[in-house]
Amino acid sequence: MTSFMSRAGLLACALLCAPILSACLGGDSATGSASTARTSPNETRPNVFEPSNFAPLPAAGTANAELQATRERILGPNAMDPEQVKFWWVGVSSFIVSMKGHLFLMDAWEIVGVHANYVPIGREELAAIQPEAIFIGHGHFDHAADAGYVAGLSNALLVAGSNVCDIARERAASEGIPNTFPCLNLGDQTTPGAGSTRAIQIWEDVEPVHVVQHTHSAAEPTDLLSGGMPLVYIPDVLTYPTYLNTSLAEALRFVGTLRDDGGVGQPAGGTWAYHFRAGDFAWFWHNSTGMMKAGNAESEAVANALVNLPECVDVQLNAIVGFGLVTSAYRDALAYVALTKPKVALPNHHDAWTPGIGGGASAYENSWLEAVGKLPNPPEVDYLRDPVDYMKPRSYNINDPRWAGGC
């Protein structure tokens, strides 16, 4: 027992230090060495497409009996009801989504590192449900580390920045998984540019997805000189020993992803938000909230894009925790909500996914609800709580009159 506890303690210590070491070291790992890849007018990588030459995925069909049974076992009955848009939260900003007969993922990472088995399902189940596509918000490990694994086993279309496709393919190959899955190359950190919005026809039978390039969260020290204040909260620390990870293989896998796509800095592959529509129902997802500071050109470009989304936002799946909390509290996260004016908001990226940074939903709940309540047009907040809301579906009828009333 003593030997086990000693080994577990050392492992936990190493994992706790790993993100800090990654931040200090900077740069990309070997796996992330493709971060200099740029969007080119004519993509030459095999099975990699640009929005201009991408042929939409087929209309929704009927899954075979085995796949239907697998999806029902993991997601529950009626998971693919075409009259409903359903979301299953699987940690950080990752969601399984069912919409108009299609099943896909927003981000792809199994929470594993200091702790394990915190979420009821892992990357094996994400691959088993055979998603048709994986939409990546940016390529940091906590959003995309398992994209290659899932896409390799399901042949899902990976929608992401240019280098994120390369990283995912390299990681799949390193695990002996097929790595020829298709990629839709959105661009990189500077291309097409913060504030740009593009309509991309992902499926033949679904309205185009509007892809907004924005920026990753950032701590801006000058905010503290102009009245900004850090958010003070008490992080959840009991989760980690309760779900302590003692698997050396998983720990090494985790450490190997820490410097993906720029480590903790601005992602080399860009930061992307996605706006979907199904019938009268529209929803918007983003896994980070960039700096929203008056007088900053990028901030103003992103704000303009959010205000001018081509459709209403009925439900927003919004990241609320980022590096900006250190210097400007909820300023940036609140701006994304205020600008898009959702009817319903589902906060995320606030769970206990890594010590300190991931404080756990309970650490932010009261302060976030109070802050949102002060907005001019506050949304209804469906506050997701870890771990009880993992894999608990949120369902929205696309024909509900609530969505037909306009913005």
pTM score, whole prediction:
0.90
pLDDT at 15 over 70: no
Q: Which of 16-30, 262-276, 376-390 has the highest mean pLDDT?
A: 376-390
Task: Give long-range contacts, CB 8 A cutoff, 24+ apart: 53-57.
Answer: 54/184, 54/200, 54/201, 56/201, 56/202, 56/203, 56/204, 57/102, 57/132, 57/133, 57/157, 57/202, 57/203, 57/204
Superfamily classification of domain 41-405: Ribonuclease Z/Hydroxyacylglutathione hydrolase-like (3.60.15.10)
Q: Which residues are registered as beta bridge partners of 209?
A: 200
Residues in the chain, how many?
Answer: 407
Q: In whole numbers, what is the pLDDT of the chain averaged over residues?
A: 90
Within 10 angstroms of residue 82's Cβ, the number of other Cβ atoms is 15
How confident is the model over 288-304, as a mean pLDDT? 97
Q: Do residues 193 and 213 lie in contact, with contact meaning Cβ atoms separated by under 8 Å?
A: yes
Euclidean distance between CA atoms 390 and 142, whole angstroms: 16
Domain ranges for the chain:
41-405
Which pLDDT score is estimated for 11? 36
260 close to 139: Cβ distance less than 8 angstroms: yes
Residue with tokens 């020290």: 221
Measured CA to CA, the distance from residue 271 to residue 188 in angstroms comes to: 8
Instruction: Specify the higher pLDDT residue, 214 or 43.
Output: 214
Which residue is associated with the tokens 């302590």?
244
The larger pLDDT score, comparing residue 206 to residue 405, is at 206
Predicted confidence (pLDDT) per residue in 40-60, tens digit: 456 899 999 999 999 999 999
Structure letter (DSSP) for residue 54: P
Q: What are the Cα distances from residue 134, in Å, to 326, 329, 347, 404?
A: 31, 30, 20, 28
With bands split at pLDDT 50, 70 and 90, how would you rate the model's confidence at 3? very low
